[in-house]
Amino acid sequence: MDSKPQVFISYSWSSPEHEQWVVGLANDLGDSGVYVHLDKFDLREGHESIAFMERMVNDPNIKKVLLICDKAYAEKTNTRSGGVGTEAQIISPKIYAATDQNKFVAVLKERDSDGKPYLPTYYASRIYIDLSGQEDFAENFERLVRWINDKPLYQRKPIGERPAYLDEDPEISLGTTPIFRRAIEAIKGNKLSAGGALTEYFQIVATNFERLRIVRDPTKEWDEQFIDSLLPTISLRNELNQIFEVIAVYDTTGEFGAKIHRFFESLIPYFYTPARIGSYYDTDVDNFKFLGYEFFLHALAIFIAHERFDLCIRLLNDGYYFERNREFGLDRMVDFTIFNHEIKTLVNRDNRMQTRYLSPVGVFMKERLAGTGLSEVKLAQADFVAYLRGEVFSVENDSYVSWWPTMLASATSSHGAFEIFSRAQSKAYFDRIKGMFAVKKLDDLTPLLEAHKNTQRAPRFGYRTVSISSLIGVDKLATRD
């Protein structure tokens, strides 16, 4: 029998047809890898049936007992008559004692004229498996096999770590939760108020962002203040991710894309020290810079995962208005790379703690992924997409790298192409994603690929250079109809 599960079947000899049904069930279970103990299989003339049954119920190797319930079985167990009644006297105390509630299960074979199940009185309040009808027999037979093997269809996922936001400072709150819930409900319900609720939510986030500004404490390490300031933002980041998820699924027209774009635009002033502050360090706003990068990258990753390339194209290709540039005589329209800044505080922290990470920002981003449903690979893919979009522009204009992909520190050529580029072996799929890179055809990527033949152009982490062509899978890109 090896390690095959063993079961004993208790039933009533109601009729030849019923006995044959029980034998058929035993054979079906045998075909599913279950060793069945049944009187029809195991007893011969002259054998003691009651002793056999008692041995089966008490055998520690038999972990499961099936009670095949039809009208005769229920009546005989309730009146304690015949062999089934004797079995009931042995089985019922064990069920009542609840020493092992997972050892016995009633398998319903028959119902009365009112549709009520025939069950022994001692079992009436317990869950049973219904094999009385043909329409759902296969589904419930699977339930039975799963029960025998202790492999239920629905199983509890591994318990994760305690959410970091539970340890947030309760005094730091952006007050977004009520309107967040209204926005989610309105978008899912396709309500006329959805657009207004979404706008209100984004405005509250952008306005109350100011509450996260750090006031330097000379008694503490600055990088520790930086880390502490970001703890309360995890719940906000998760709210935004839910908003992006719901829009990706329910906003099939793309009408909310402009609102997402304006939201990110509203965060840009926080990346720079306010004009009213005369004395400052250039790292004072690193927490805002980090959040802008994190929010943008998460949004891009979510939209790519849902293949909402229309929303990605808007984020990557539409310009962002920054009024303050007027003070410096600069163009007030900036591109998406405004969300990718060097976070010097994390670099300094890496040096202070001598952790020697290839990408301190990438490591910190990864540490904050718990509970988001996003993987490091999904985030790295989004970072790579943004990098390539920036590179198309940079190569065309003979300028430096405009987006530094911190999440690529752990990406190697041995992993092969990212998912969207693997899918883009299809010409039709490539046509769907090409707008993210602002190209009209595959050949438009040639200058970028030529520039990267010189590895000095490619992102480098320590002594390792990231292979752009490998992560694109360039040899197979757009090769299949």
- Which helix (H) or strand (E) segment holds residue 267: the answer is helix 257-267
Question: What pLDDT is attached to residue 421?
Answer: 95
Question: What pLDDT is attached to residue 172?
Answer: 55
CA torsion, points 439, 442, 445, 446, in degrees to nearest 10?
A: -140
- On whether residue 153 sits in a domain, the answer given is no
Please give the average per-residue pLDDT across 359-388, as a whole number. 92
Question: What pLDDT is attached to residue 430?
Answer: 95
Say whether both 144 and 174 belong to one domain: no
Q: What is the pLDDT of residues 286-319, one digit of tens each?
A: 999 999 999 999 999 999 999 999 999 999 999 9
169: pLDDT strictly greater than 60:
no
Say whether both 95 and 175 belong to one domain: no
Q: In total, how many domains does the chain have?
A: 3
Say whether both 364 and 445 belong to one domain: no
Q: What is the pLDDT of residues 243-260, one digit of tens each?
A: 999 999 999 888 999 999
Q: Which three-class secondary structure state does DSSP give residue 139? A: helix
- On whether residue 386 sits in a domain, the answer given is no
- Amino acid letter at 243? I
- On whether residue 154 sits in a domain, the answer given is no
Asked whether 382 and 301 are in contact (CB, 8 A), the reply is yes
* Alpha helix stretches (DSSP H) within 80-193: 82-97, 137-148, 177-188
Please give the average per-residue pLDDT across 208-225, as a whole number. 92
User: How many other C-beta atoms lie within 10 A of the C-beta of residue 184?
Assistant: 21
Say whether both 337 and 450 belong to one domain: no
E strands, 30-177, where? 35-37, 64-69, 104-108, 129-130
Say whether both 424 and 468 belong to one domain: yes
β 464-465/460-461 pair status: antiparallel
Asked whether 10 and 44 are in contact (CB, 8 A), the reply is no
Tell me the CA distances in angstroms from 50 to 37, 54, 67, 86, 105, one per residue in order.
Answer: 14, 6, 16, 8, 20
- On whether residue 171 sits in a domain, the answer given is yes
pTM of the model: 0.66
% of residues, the chain, pLDDT over 70: 89
- On whether residue 74 sits in a domain, the answer given is yes
Owner of token pair 């976070």: 343
Say whether both 103 and 182 belong to one domain: no
- On whether residue 273 sits in a domain, the answer given is yes
Say whether both 117 and 176 belong to one domain: no
- Which helix (H) or strand (E) segment holds residue 464: the answer is strand 464-465
Tell me the CA distances in angstroms from 218 to 225, 280, 281, one per residue in order.
Answer: 10, 14, 13
| Backbone conformation region of residue 175, classed left if phi is above 0, alpha if psi is from -120 to 50, else beta | left
What CATH number is given to the structural domain containing 37?
Answer: 3.40.50.10140
Closest CA to 437 of 376, 467, 394, 469: 394
Q: What is the pLDDT of residues 57-93, one digit of tens each?
A: 778 888 888 989 889 888 888 877 766 666 666 666 6
Question: What pLDDT is attached to residue 99?
Answer: 55
Asked whether 104 and 45 are in contact (CB, 8 A), the reply is no
Q: Which three-class secondary structure state does DSSP give residue 446? A: helix
- Average pLDDT across the chain, whole number: 86
Say whether both 217 and 343 belong to one domain: yes
CA distance 369 to 375: 7
Asked whether 281 and 220 are in contact (CB, 8 A), the reply is no
106 forms bridges with which residues in the sheet? 67
- On whether residue 395 sits in a domain, the answer given is no
203: pLDDT strictly greater than 90:
yes
Owner of token pair 């990706």: 248
Please give the average per-residue pLDDT across 195-208, as a whole number. 93
Question: What pLDDT is attached to residue 384?
Answer: 95
CA distance 315 to 311: 6
Residue 444: CA atoms inside 13 Å, Cβ hemisphere, count?
15
In the listed set 374, 397, 431, which residue is the last one of a domain according to the structure? 374
Residue 312: CA atoms inside 13 Å, Cβ hemisphere, count?
27
Q: Can you count the helices (H) and strands (E) in the chain?
A: 20, 9
- 328 burial level (CB within 10 Å; 0-12, 13-18, 19+): exposed
Question: What pLDDT is attached to residue 47?
Answer: 62
In the listed set 118, 148, 178, which residue is the last one of a domain according to the structure? 148
Question: What pLDDT is attached to residue 315?
Answer: 97
CA distance 45 to 38: 14
Closest CA to 8 of 127, 77, 81, 22: 22
Residue 431: CA atoms inside 13 Å, Cβ hemisphere, count?
6
Of residues 159 and 11, more confidence is placed in 11
Say whether both 128 and 175 belong to one domain: no
Question: What pLDDT is attached to residue 115?
Answer: 87
- On whether residue 383 sits in a domain, the answer given is no
Of 1-10, 111-120, 334-343, the least confident? 1-10
Say whether both 311 and 363 belong to one domain: yes
Asked whether 284 and 273 are in contact (CB, 8 A), the reply is yes
Cα 400 to chain centroid distance, Å, stands at 36
Please give the average per-residue pLDDT across 187-201, as a whole number. 93
Question: What pLDDT is attached to residue 406?
Answer: 94
Owner of token pair 């004395």: 279
In the listed set 148, 178, 199, which residue is the last one of a domain according to the structure? 148
CA distance 319 to 298: 19
Say whether both 215 and 364 belong to one domain: yes
Backbone angles phi, psi at 217, to 5 degrees: -110, 110
CA distance 405 to 286: 17
Provide the residue range defining the domain that includes 100.
6-148
CA distance 184 to 447: 43
Say whether both 182 and 287 belong to one domain: yes
Owner of token pair 């499961």: 64
